């Protein structure tokens, strides 16, 4: 039932119409009188009303899509970290005021309704969340752009902290059903694994026939992506794996029940679980199956749709379709599209290759060597026999060409091969097979050109570009910080909220000097801090002082992100307070959150250290209100939405050169937090935007790190020996100071025995100094709020609307 107001096409216009429809729907889903309904019923009812409204628009959009009037963008990604959708849909529909007021009048708790939605954790962190922000912005800007990924039955684990340690619990996000997806069994396709390739000559042409394969059914579940107050509804298509027949009947009839069941569970295992490590390549066969699964299924539907529109021909495909691959996990798009064009559509190799390159573009998200995907050749060859042959041929032709053009650089040519050392180098495949390769921040793209992919850059200089990441302000500012949104509206008008128009926040700059405005900004921050403090009190029983500085580091736990540096500084502050409890320090609350990959032992030790320090500090009557440490468990999109608006300091302290971009840094900034960071990733561009006076930077530069790493010269022991503060702190790590069982030998050894790979000790003194400066600036609240206002005013370029516009101009050229 669409709640159509008579005078409008599809928007619910009157509160009265909505009120009636909501009550009716609650009674339908609950089978009870409205007065008897639970929050769950109310959630289900509101979700249904929203879906009814959106699906009506969706149908119109899909028919527009089928006509292929515009070029379509497809984001292929192994992760889409979408977060809760109900409120985002309500806001994007323009229903927010109506829903808030009506529910309020009905005595219904809207916040509680929202909390009923299980936050789907279909991603690990930045890479997956970026895709979700990109989908939001693409729709907001009215571009036809869609996601293609995997519908994991189990998303990222739920993190509990038990006895100070991370414990992983399965996240059963589909337990109560999911109202925002539509399953489309009629659009299911078959994905083929294993088997052999038979070659046959038909009419003088070689035919490659894949036989004896294991088929798996890929079933699509579509989630609508609703644009902000426009009539665009795009799709996020997530594939679920099923056996081709629910029971393998012949096997079953022969009495082999177990075998039939085994086939079923083998097929289903493909979309069973999200691999929980970010930045870690594990090389597991199941992961390779996953990669081919969504690539093959996604391309099949896109090709089928295109051919239907184009009278059965693939001609002109690259003019209408962009396949954008999010890191190398979907790099099999290159050989798979070649397989379709050559084997199925009968194009000559060279024509097919030209079409493939023109269709595909590639974004790299890290320079960390341990994240680079390299699959054993045997594994690829066995699992994907025909695809592997095509990779071999791509590789052979590439090396031939290189040796032809650069006969005197044979060594370099071979170093760029896709196939070498018994492995398939996925980044090489992705670069060779696309027309565009980009990094995700200026510095990162420069490192790609000059170090990581410098040989490729020499050969294909025009292929390389840069698009700095962005985040959606609609979720991470307008949605999660309503106080700030209203203040901005009241101060500079509402134009800044138009998609693609966030840079008009610069109109705020004059108000940075305005005491009344700054006072209001401070009040809003204080209210957000109280909101977070309430949540932490309720969930963890820890009482925070909302007048202390909220200094926040939330992100995946990783050595290069250096949560360790942060906690070492906390220990220093604690030591100082122990020796002088009356020291005149500005009270600080250090807030940490983030998950560690279950197999990443070192990162889990860092989590344990933070929690152990928190226990000690928070229970020491000596430190009173001056120092608090909290580790908020189970960081996810919804928890993030509570934390960013409450932050005053945004800790972005990675070893320079290691963080490709960061996106948390942008979410903090648009909520008025000041960045305390190294000159790494997009921090560099944040500093450029706001000016060096409005950020706190410290530490080695990427060039200094590079020089130490290539020429040597860093000895962590020397730093340690010359700094008594470090001697005391590191001593405490192994002396049992933090409780008998709590030795942190592994961390101690990494810093002193293994020469501190991430320069924690080297950057310690400058970090301490900058923290002292932060405290001093905070004493002057006027100055602080002014800096905060300047940060917000310049945050517009970090909207993902700007990123999408850049991709459009530099890569996809939709218009």
Cβ–Cβ < 8 Å for 139, 232: yes
Cβ–Cβ < 8 Å for 694, 784: no
Would residue 593 be called left, alpha or beta, if left means φ above 0 and alpha means ψ between -120 and 50 degrees? beta
Does position 127 interact with ligand GPK (CB under 6 A)? The reply is yes
Judged by beta carbon, residue 126 or residue 479, the one nearer ligand GPK is 126
| Cβ 609 to ligand GPK shortest distance, Å | 22
Cβ–Cβ < 8 Å for 39, 30: no
User: What does the block give as tokens for 554?
Assistant: 């939330």
**Contact pick of 37, 366, 436, 466 for ligand GPK (by CB under 6 A):** 366
**Contact pick of 359, 423, 661, 803 for ligand GPK (by CB under 6 A):** 661
Is 786 part of the annotated catalytic residue set? no
Quick one: angle between helices 601-618 and 563-579, nearest 10? 20
Judged by beta carbon, residue 54 or residue 73, the one nearer ligand GPK is 73
Considering only residues 312 through 341, tell me which ones interact with ligand GPK, judged by CB under 6 A: 327
**Contact pick of 130, 219, 333, 342 for ligand GPK (by CB under 6 A):** 130
Distance between CA atoms of residues 143 and 804, nearest Å: 9
| Cβ 499 to ligand GPK shortest distance, Å | 21
Which burial class, exposed, middle or buried, applies to 501 when counting CB atoms under 10 A from its CB (0-12, 13-18, 19+)? middle
Is 663 part of the annotated catalytic residue set? yes
Place of tokens 């403090």: 533
**C-alpha distances out from residue 569 to 572, 725, 767, Å:** 5, 10, 8
Does position 371 interact with ligand GPK (CB under 6 A)? The reply is yes
Among the residue ranges 81-89, 300-308, 658-666, 788-796, the one whose residues contact ligand GPK (CB under 6 A) = 658-666
Beta strands in 607-691 (DSSP E): 627-632, 649-652, 674-677
Considering only residues 267 through 306, tell me which ones interact with ligand GPK, judged by CB under 6 A: 278-279
User: What does the block give as tokens for 3?
Assistant: 């709640």
Among the residue ranges 125-133, 175-183, 418-426, 731-739, the one whose residues contact ligand GPK (CB under 6 A) = 125-133
**Contact pick of 120, 125, 470, 479 for ligand GPK (by CB under 6 A):** 125
Catalytic residue selected from 463, 485, 561, 608: 561
Judged by beta carbon, residue 68 or residue 447, the one nearer ligand GPK is 447
Beta strands in 528-575 (DSSP E): 549-554
Distance between CA atoms of residues 748 and 753, nearest Å: 8
**Contact pick of 394, 424, 440, 597 for ligand GPK (by CB under 6 A):** 440
Half-sphere exposure of 313 (CA within 13 A, CB side): 5
| Cβ 740 to ligand GPK shortest distance, Å | 37
Which residues make Cβ contacts (< 8 Å) with residue 55, sequence separation at least 6?
Answer: 182, 224
Among the residue ranges 195-203, 582-590, 640-648, 659-667, the one whose residues contact ligand GPK (CB under 6 A) = 659-667
Does position 659 interact with ligand GPK (CB under 6 A)? The reply is yes
| Cβ 635 to ligand GPK shortest distance, Å | 13
Judged by beta carbon, residue 106 or residue 368, the one nearer ligand GPK is 368
Judged by beta carbon, residue 318 or residue 681, the one nearer ligand GPK is 681
**Contact pick of 41, 365, 374, 626 for ligand GPK (by CB under 6 A):** 365
Is 555 part of the annotated catalytic residue set? yes
H helical segments located in 626-701: 637-643, 664-670, 683-690
**Contact pick of 470, 662, 677, 796 for ligand GPK (by CB under 6 A):** 662
Catalytic residue selected from 667, 762, 786, 802: 667
Is 365 part of the annotated catalytic residue set? yes
CA torsion through residues 568, 574, 578, 583, sign: positive
Distance between CA atoms of residues 726 and 718, nearest Å: 11
Is 561 part of the annotated catalytic residue set? yes
Q: Which residues pair with 651 in a beta bridge?
A: 676
Helix (H) or strand (E) holding 804: helix 800-807
Helix (H) or strand (E) holding 416: none
Distance of CA 361 to the CA centre of its chain: 19
Q: Which residues pair with 324 in a beta bridge?
A: 75, 361
| Cβ 254 to ligand GPK shortest distance, Å | 45
Catalytic residue selected from 192, 226, 425, 556: 556
| Cβ 440 to ligand GPK shortest distance, Å | 4
**Contact pick of 332, 418, 429, 660 for ligand GPK (by CB under 6 A):** 660
| Cβ 364 to ligand GPK shortest distance, Å | 8
Positions that interact with ligand GPK (CB under 6 A): 124-127, 130, 278-279, 327, 365-366, 371, 440, 469, 659-663, 681
User: Catalytic site residues?
Assistant: 365, 555-556, 561, 663, 667
């Amino acid at each position: 039932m669409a709640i159509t107001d008579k005078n409008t096409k599809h928007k619910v216009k009157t509160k009265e119409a909505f009120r009636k429809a909501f009550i009716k729907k609650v009674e339908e889903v609950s089978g009870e009188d409205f007065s008897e309904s639970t929050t769950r019923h109310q959630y289900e009812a509101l979700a249904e009303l929203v879906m009814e409204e959106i699906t009506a628009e969706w149908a119109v959009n899909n028919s527009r899509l089928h006509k292929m009037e515009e070029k379509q963008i497809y984001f292929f990604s192994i992760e889409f970290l979408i977060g809760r959708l109900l409120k985002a849909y309500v806001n994007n529909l323009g229903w927010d005021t109506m829903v808030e007021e009506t529910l309020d009048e009905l005595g219904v708790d809207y916040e509680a309704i929202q909390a009923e939605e299980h936050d789907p954790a279909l991603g690990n962190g930045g890479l997956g969340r970026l895709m979700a922000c990109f989908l939001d912005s693409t729709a907001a800007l009215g571009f036809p752009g869609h996601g293609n990924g995997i519908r994991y039955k189990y998303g990222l684990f739920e993190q509990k902290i038990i006895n100070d340690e991370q414990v992983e619990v399965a996240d059963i996000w589909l337990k109560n059903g999911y109202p925002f997806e539509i399953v489309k069994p009629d659009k299911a396709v078959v994905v083929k694994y294993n088997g052999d390739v038979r070659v046959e000559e038909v009419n003088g042409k070689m035919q490659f026939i894949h036989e004896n394969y294991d088929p798996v059914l890929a079933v699509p579940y579509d989630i609508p992506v609703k644009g902000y107050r426009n009539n665009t509804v795009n799709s996020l298509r997530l594939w679920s794996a099923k056996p081709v027949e629910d029971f393998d009947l012949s096997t079953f009839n022969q009495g082999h029940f177990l075998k039939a069941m085994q086939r079923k569970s083998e097929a289903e295992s493909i979309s069973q679980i999200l691999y929980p490590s970010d930045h870690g390549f594990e090389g597991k066969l199941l992961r390779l199956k996953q990669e081919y699964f969504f690539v093959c299924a996604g391309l099949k539907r896109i090709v089928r749709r295109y051919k239907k529109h184009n009278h059965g021909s693939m001609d002109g495909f690259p003019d209408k379709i962009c396949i954008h691959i999010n890191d190398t996990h979907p790099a099999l798009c290159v050989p798979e599209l070649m397989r379709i064009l050559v084997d199925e559509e009968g194009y000559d190799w060279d024509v097919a290759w030209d079409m493939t390159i023109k269709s595909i573009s590639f974004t790299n998200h890290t320079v960390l060597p341990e994240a680079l995907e390299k699959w054993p050749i045997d594994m690829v060859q066995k699992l994907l026999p025909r695809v592997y042959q095509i990779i071999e041929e791509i590789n052979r032709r590439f090396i031939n060409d290189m040796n032809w053009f650069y006969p005197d650089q044979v060594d370099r040519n071979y170093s760029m091969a896709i196939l070498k050392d018994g492995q398939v180098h996925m980044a090489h495949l992705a670069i060779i097979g696309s027309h565009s390769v980009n990094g995700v921040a200026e510095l990162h793209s420069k490192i790609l050109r000059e170090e990581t992919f410098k040989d490729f850059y020499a050969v294909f200089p025009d292929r390389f570009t840069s698009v700095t990441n962005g985040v959606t302000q609609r979720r991470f500012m307008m949605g999660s910080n309503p106080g700030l949104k209203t203040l901005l509206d009241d101060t500079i008008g509402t134009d800044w909220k138009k998609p693609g128009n966030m840079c008009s926040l610069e109109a705020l700059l004059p108000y940075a000097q305005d005491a009344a405005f700054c006072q209001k900004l401070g009040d809003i921050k204080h209210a957000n801090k109280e909101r977070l403090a309430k949540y932490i009190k309720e969930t963890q029983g820890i009482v925070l002082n909302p007048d202390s500085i909220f200094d926040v580091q939330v992100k995946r736990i990783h050595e290069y992100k250096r949560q360790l540096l942060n906690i070492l500084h906390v220990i220093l502050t604690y030591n100082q307070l122990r020796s002088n409890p009356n020291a005149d320090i500005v009270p600080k609350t250090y807030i940490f959150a983030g998950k560690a990959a279950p197999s990443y032992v070192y990162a889990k030790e860092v989590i344990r250290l933070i929690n152990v320090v928190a226990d000690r500090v928070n229970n020491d009557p000596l430190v009173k209100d001056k120092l608090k440490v909290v580790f908020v468990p189970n960081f996810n999109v919804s928890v993030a939405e509570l934390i960013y608006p409450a932050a005053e300091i945004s800790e972005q302290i990675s070893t320079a050169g290691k963080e490709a971009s960061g996106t948390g840094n942008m979410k903090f900034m648009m909520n008025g937090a000041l960045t305390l960071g190294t000159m790494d990733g997009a921090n560099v561009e944040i500093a450029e935007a706001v000016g060096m006076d409005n950020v706190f930077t410290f530490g080695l530069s990427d060039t200094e790190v590079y020089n130490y790493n290539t020429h040597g010269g860093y000895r962590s022991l020397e730093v340690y020996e010359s700094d008594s503060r470090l001697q005391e702190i590191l001593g405490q790590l192994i002396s049992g100071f933090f409780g008998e069982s709590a030795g942190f030998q592994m961390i101690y050894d990494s810093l002193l025995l293994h020469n501190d790979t991430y320069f924690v000790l080297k950057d310690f003194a400058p970090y301490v100094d900058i923290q002292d400066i932060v405290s001093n600036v905070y004493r002057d609240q006027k100055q602080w709020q002014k800096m905060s206002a300047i940060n917000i005013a310049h945050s517009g370029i970090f909207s993902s609307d700007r990123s999408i516009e850049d991709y459009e101009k530099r890569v996809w050229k939709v218009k």
